[in-house]
């Protein structure tokens, strides 16, 4: 399978931009083709550092033994895709154009945006106690909704335990969860620390944020994200799965997960265990457009965007900071990347947008068991951000 590079304008026209090299297939994902090295074919034009991006994806696949990877780079209204490895181990096909994947915790930025819109509308205060909007929900085993604020939910400084400590997404692959059930699971655990004392990632925070949106608006959080964010931006490939929906709509790679050491096709699953913390499906291009619009001030007033960008130190990556559903990553060429990322069984995504307008998203179709798996994806993001324009 040859790696593809596609150049697409904002209005949807697609043209072939040239092959960048024969695909490098990792030994763990080999489908019979020989691995080859090298750059673009003679005479090919390297647009936006495509050779550098391809090399970075090859390195990522090789380091973590992944089936495949895709980078989407968007700037000045045009998107390019660089796909390496395979998107389907059975057929050997690469990631499809406009590949839809489970974007995991990128969902949090969409939900935080809606909450901050409600703040701008005067419906919610960032320093409101959670108890004001969700009475009796955060209670028991030392948990106290009168002491946890909306800001602390969005910032991951609430101290609330992560329900994933007791809910196993792999074991619960086909089980349907409601948000109240997930929060109730978290309430069986004591708080990790006093509210506001420090930063620690907890998916419970964003399930609660989704419940808050529903309580304040009287509509499902999925409907509010659609009405307020994805529809106005024309993100037609981004959606919350319907209740009971286990597959992916439209073109998509297969997503794989290691279960007892065996690689399993994990594309289909009930994502309700992730809910407002990570259930959304989307494309790299849609994510790039979303983060570009968000950081460009198209979704939030200046005051709320400034609050979103006020960060606390976070051990996501060296030098990273976490705001309100938004992560600041430093990159090697001296720029800052504002975005998020997501990890669910089958898919991992990382990316964001720089101040000069280059938006990048990298997706892999297996979550590496290596402790360096997330860092390796971020290295590929770094390469794409810093690739020669």
* DSSP state, residue 185: H
The reported pLDDT for the residue numbered 48 is 56
Give the per-residue pLDDT at 18: 25
CB 45 within 8 A of CB 27: no
List the chain residues with pLDDT less than 50.
1-45
Which listed CATH number (3.90.1150.10, 1.20.59.10, 3.40.710.10, 3.20.20.220) goes with 46-386?
3.40.710.10
- CA distances from residue 226 to 230, 231, 238, 278 in whole angstroms, order as listed: 5, 5, 9, 15
> CA-based angle 115:375:369, to the nearest 5?
100
Instruction: State the pLDDT at residue 122.
Output: 98
Q: Write out pLDDT tens, residues 118-137.
A: 999 999 999 999 999 999 99
Tokens of 7: 């150049």
Distance between CA atoms of 385 and 369, rounded to whole angstroms?
25
Residue 83 · residue 323 · CB < 8 Å: no
Answer yes or no: are the C-beta atoms of 254 and 88 closer than 8 Å: yes
Instruction: For the chain, give every domain's residue range.
Output: 46-386
Active-site residue list: 105
pLDDT value at residue 389: 58
pLDDT digits (tens, 9 = 90+) for 147-175: 999 999 999 999 999 999 999 999 999 99
Position 369 scores a pLDDT of: 85
How many Å from the N-terminal Cα to the C-terminal Cα in the chain? 26
DSSP characters over 223-248 = HHHIIIIIHHHT-TT-BPPPTT--S-
Residue 47: its pLDDT value, please?
A: 59
User: Is the backbone of residue 85 left (phi > 0), alpha (psi -120 to 50) or beta?
Assistant: left
């Amino acid at each position: 399978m040859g790696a593809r590079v596609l150049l697409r304008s904002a209005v949807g026209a697609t043209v072939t931009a040239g092959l960048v090299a024969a695909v490098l297939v990792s030994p763990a994902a080999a489908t019979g083709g020989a691995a080859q090295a090298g750059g673009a074919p003679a005479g090919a034009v390297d647009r936006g550092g495509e050779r550098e991006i391809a090399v970075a994806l090859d390195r990522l696949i090789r380091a973590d033994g992944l089936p495949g990877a895709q980078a989407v780079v968007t700037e000045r209204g045009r998107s390019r895709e660089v796909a390496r490895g395979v998107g389907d181990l059975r057929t050997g096909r690469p990631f499809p154009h406009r590949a839809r994947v489970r974007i995991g915790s990128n969902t949090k930025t969409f939900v935080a945006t809606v909450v901050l819109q409600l703040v701008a509308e005067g419906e919610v205060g960032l320093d409101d106690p959670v108890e004001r909007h969700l009475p009796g929900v955060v209670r028991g085993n030392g948990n106290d909704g009168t002491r946890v604020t909306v800001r602390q939910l969005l910032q991951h400084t609430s101290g609330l335990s992560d329900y994933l400590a007791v809910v196993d997404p792999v074991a619960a692959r086909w089980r349907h969860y409601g948000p109240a059930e997930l929060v109730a699971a978290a309430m069986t655990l004591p708080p990790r620390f006093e509210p506001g004392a420090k930063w620690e990632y907890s998916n419970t925070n964003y399930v609660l944020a989704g419940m808050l949106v529903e309580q304040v608006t009287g509509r499902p959080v999925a409907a509010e994200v659609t009405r307020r964010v994805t529809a106005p931006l024309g993100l037609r490939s981004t959606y919350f799965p319907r209740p009971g929906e286990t597959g992916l709509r439209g073109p998509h790679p297969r997503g794989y997960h290691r279960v007892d050491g065996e690689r399993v096709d994990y594309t289909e699953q009930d994502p309700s265990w992730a809910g407002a913390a990570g259930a959304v499906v989307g494309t790299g291009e849609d994510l790039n457009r979303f983060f570009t619009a968000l950081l460009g001030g198209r979704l939030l007033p200046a005051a709320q965007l400034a609050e979103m960008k006020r960060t606390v130190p976070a051990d996501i990556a060296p030098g990273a900071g976490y705001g309100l559903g938004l992560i600041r990553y430093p990159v090697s060429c001296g720029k800052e990347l504002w975005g998020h990322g997501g990890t669910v069984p089958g898919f991992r995504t990382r990316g964001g947008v720089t101040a000069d307008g280059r938006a990048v998203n990298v997706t892999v179709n297996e979550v590496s068991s290596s402790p360096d798996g997330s860092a390796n994806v971020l290295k590929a993001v770094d390469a794409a951000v810093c690739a020669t324009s």
